Structure 1
Amino acid sequence: MIQAKICGVRTPDAIAAAVAGGARAIGLVFFPASPRAVDPSFAAELARQVPTGVQVIGLFVDPQNDDLERIVGQVPLDMVQLHGSETPERVADVKSRFGLPVMKAIAIGDAADLERARSFELVADRLLFDAKAPAGVSSLPGGNGLAFDWTLLAGQRWSRPWMLAGGLNPDNVAAAVRASGAQAVDVSSGVEDRPGHKSPAKISAFLAALRSL
């Protein structure tokens, strides 16, 4: 089965649906401007509901070291996801400083953006390709429900595992996997009833679509 991460989870019922459907990772958002943001104390409670074998990944956007230290100290994370304008040097620094694997998200609009991602191959443990938000449309780096041209990834070879994100939902995820060759996908807004509120039914449908592949 294609691996799946359900990102921006904020409720126990969303976690239950994700785990029951076979998700391999749960994403907790620590970016205050996001409607999916959770405070560290509540995030710690949610993380404790995630069973062994399912990763808990914390999403940060250009975080300061103090914020990372405070959150990593409270929440049992398996991986840090950097979803801002972090450089390869910053990715390496976070890995070294906090002793956790790092996934770096790269916003993709065209082939040039994909080539820029190559600079992270030697420092990130995993790459995530997300859609680039058009200027002026959104201040959020992800979770905008936008897709990019999935065929840009077709046939590409990477030295690190990678995930496909951006505009995925239960109706298009199978086509996205076929077009891109992705072996792992990340979904957020595509399984929501409204921004920040995950639908257990949509989570289940999304994971069922992956199991059909």
Structure 2
Amino acid sequence: MACNDATENLNRKQQIKLYSYFKSTSSCRVRIALNLKGIDYDYEAVNLLKGEQHTPEYLKLNPMGYVPALVDGDITIADSFAIIMYLEEKYPQHPLLPDDLVTRAVNFQAANIVSSGILSLHNLSVLTYIGEKFGPDERLPWVQFHIRKGFTALEKLLSDHAGKYATGDEVYLADIFLAPQIDAAIKRFSIDMTEFPLLSRLNAAYKELSAFQDAMPEKQPDTPIAVI
């Protein structure tokens, strides 16, 4: 109990700042992790459409010019996976990784499929490039192809591990990566989720969790009124 109290006091004394964009699935992952761990943070909006991620000030935080970036005291971390692992190490409440070695590996694999095999192929810079080189009509088919490919792999990977959530009956790292990607697939990229019954079931479970729903794009302070 004393350890938990000390952690809570530290959270209150040292406010974390998250540089985020409401529609960014990478930012959403971090928002979910912060919510699950009960960590208060200041939200600093970075408008990607206005190019604020390319300003000299922001590039000092994230040299890649992506969101999110997290500032915790004198520490700055700029990558959603690295941020979440940092939070896991520093703030032990609500562990995001299971103790079981195999289940832990499955969580890492699922998270990497989302971050490397799906999102990295349809982030804003990639879609801008596709639109410029091949025309704007080529962007959606490109995104849908890569999402379907990744979701097909995830259905197979998680079929022997899923319980109520991706790798059992507790929320872990895989869920944090899956929820924003599924949400974006449905709302932004018109993916027919009947192809993916397991992911659809998980998505329904995530909708019952306030830590997840409070992190979704429509709940963020920089969300345009028209989106809400």
Larger Rg: 2
Question: What TM-score, normalized to structure 2?
Answer: 0.31
Q: Which has the higher strand share?
A: 1
